[in-house]
Amino acid sequence: MVDPLMKKMLMISYYAPPQLNAESILVAKTLKFLSRQYHVHLVTVGEEAEFKVDPFLVEEMGEGVQVTRLSNPKPTSRVLRKLYRETVGRVSSIDNPIWLRAAETMLNMMVKPGEFDVLYSRSQPGSSHLAALFAKKKFNLPWIAQFSDPWAHNPYHPYSGRKKQAIEAREREVVELADKLVFPTQEMLELYAQAHPGVDVAGKSIVLPHHYDPELYIGSDETAELAKTQLSPAPARNKVRLAYIGDFYGLRSPEPLVKGLRVLKERRPELLQGLELQVVGNVERTFHPLLEEAERTLGMTVQRVGQVPYRKSLELMAETDILLLVDAPSDVNLFLSSKLIDYLGARRPVLGITSTKGTAGRLLQESGWHVHHPDDVDGIADALELYLGRLDEQQARAKANPVERFSSEHVVGELVALCEQAIEESGNR
């Protein structure tokens, strides 16, 4: 039954359930708790040829969300999609321009002035914020814009020339007109403040980490407290399992891990006996020979599982012995991987192969876990030796670590408070 006293939220996010990608997973967990506070109307894309579908994410999102799905036709062939992206990139500085036009048309024709109390948009991609920018100009709603990744200044997807100038201009307009900004890391907030001088980015921004839903690890009918007690120890098996849940592509390579294991074999070969590495995600073909050679030369099993549904990935996290976070090399890591928060929620030992500078490294070190830059092969080997040699001790620490501040209920609660602040401030203007 609809509660007439609940406020109404217009939410715009290109990625959303049932797409199986990191942003869609975050949207599902956010909506589960956000829809308890607002009547949410979500504007998103329809079928998205680039991603698999995970029906469970729709279940996680909940039935109380009204959804409008807008078409963004793309070729079904991977090769043709690449050509399509390259063509769009040459002729437009806007990602997903067809979808953006459809979103603006829908907002113009279907949304009535005064129908919503607050506007909330998420990216990537940036077209989500551009659709929200259109809604902001038309309806003057208090607007919260949340960035999971940098847009115009992403170090792994750089722009140049006129296209860079156009994207920076659009990003600046979003940053200027949004009433509140949300970033997953302090480093990303500072990047935006530096990139847009003259805009009080810090004054209207908040850092909110990604979050995990404790109920998902053992079943939606169980309580979060019960989850804590049932996630350790991992099920008994003959082998000790290292697991990386995610993709290897581009600069994010398994090479630092493999090199660390080679050093460990020279020092403590007995620790590699009965060891297995499980990679759950997509592995770029260029890395296949590296993993195959590691299996032959290290005498350990290497399993390439491929991408699995989200609920299954959590199950695998909870069953493993040591979880691995592997990032691309960088001086300062601007990013916060959503799977890192899921790792913490799984309450398993975590080894970070990432920059020691940045939120990810800081969070891991605060939890007592080792963090080593991908170039620090000896440090990676030291950490593996410690974890494997004292596995019971590490697993006991994982079980005892306080991670409740990363729960979906807590983090989305802070997001709701920010929305309410924006609504109140807009009413006072």
CATH of residue 194's domain is: 3.40.50.2000
User: What pLDDT is recorded for position 159?
Assistant: 86
Q: Is residue 2 part of a domain?
A: no
CA angle 252, 239, 257 (to 5 degrees): 20
3-state secondary structure of 41: strand
**How far is Cα 402 from Cα 322, in angstroms, rounded to an integer?**
18
Whether 290 and 345 map to the same domain: the answer is: yes
Whether 320 and 194 map to the same domain: the answer is: no
3-state secondary structure of 352: strand
User: What pLDDT is recorded for position 224?
Assistant: 37
Q: Is residue 277 part of a domain?
A: yes
Q: Is residue 166 part of a domain?
A: yes
Token digits for 423?
């609504």
Contacts 24+ apart (CB under 8 A), 219-224: 224/404, 224/407
User: What pLDDT is recorded for position 171?
Assistant: 96
Domain count of the fold of the chain: 2
From the first residue on, what is the mean pLDDT of each consecutive set of 10 residues in the chain (429 residues)? 80 97 97 97 94 95 95 87 82 88 96 96 95 97 96 86 92 98 96 96 97 79 39 60 95 96 96 94 96 93 94 94 95 92 96 94 95 97 97 95 96 98 87
User: What pLDDT is recorded for position 77?
Assistant: 85
Whether 134 and 264 map to the same domain: the answer is: no
| Residue from 21, 112, 35, 36 nearest 67 by CA | 35
**How far is Cα 293 from Cα 121, in angstroms, rounded to an integer?**
45
Whether 348 and 411 map to the same domain: the answer is: no
User: What pLDDT is recorded for position 50?
Assistant: 87
Phi and psi based region of residue 53 (left: phi greater than 0; alpha: psi -120 to 50; beta: remaining): beta
Please enumerate in sequence order all residues whose Cβ is within 8 A of that of 370, keeping only pairs 6 or more positions apart, or say none: 351, 352, 364, 379, 382, 383, 386, 387
Q: Is residue 84 part of a domain?
A: yes
User: What pLDDT is recorded for position 364?
Assistant: 96
Q: Is residue 1 part of a domain?
A: no
- Give the C-alpha distances (Å, rounded to integers) separating 395 from 32, 216, 327, 344: 30, 20, 23, 12
Cβ proximity of 31 and 40 under 8 Å: yes
**How far is Cα 339 from Cα 336, in angstroms, rounded to an integer?**
9
Helices assigned H by DSSP within 320-407: 338-346, 359-366, 377-389, 391-400
Whether 176 and 256 map to the same domain: the answer is: no
Whether 148 and 269 map to the same domain: the answer is: no
Q: Is residue 337 part of a domain?
A: yes
Structural domain boundaries enclosing 106: 7-211+407-428
Whether 412 and 402 map to the same domain: the answer is: no
Token digits for 122?
């998420």
Whether 30 and 61 map to the same domain: the answer is: yes
- Give the C-alpha distances (Å, rounded to integers) separating 82 from 22, 79, 273: 21, 5, 43
Cβ proximity of 326 and 256 under 8 Å: yes
Whether 337 and 417 map to the same domain: the answer is: no
**How far is Cα 255 from Cα 357, in angstroms, rounded to an integer?**
21
Q: Is residue 195 part of a domain?
A: yes
User: What pLDDT is recorded for position 429?
Assistant: 63
Whether 132 and 183 map to the same domain: the answer is: yes
- For residues 90, 96, 98, 103, the Cα torsion angle rounded to the nearest 10 degrees is -150
User: What pLDDT is recorded for position 233?
Assistant: 47
Amino acid present at 65: V
**How far is Cα 11 from Cα 118, in angstroms, rounded to an integer?**
8
Instruction: Count Cα neighbours of 217 within 13 Å in the Cβ-side half-sphere.
Output: 28
**How far is Cα 251 from Cα 5, in angstroms, rounded to an integer?**
50
Token digits for 298?
């290290």
pLDDT tens for residues 227-253?
444 444 444 557 899 999 999 999 999
Whether 53 and 143 map to the same domain: the answer is: yes
Whether 400 and 265 map to the same domain: the answer is: yes
| Residue from 209, 205, 177 nearest 191 by CA | 205
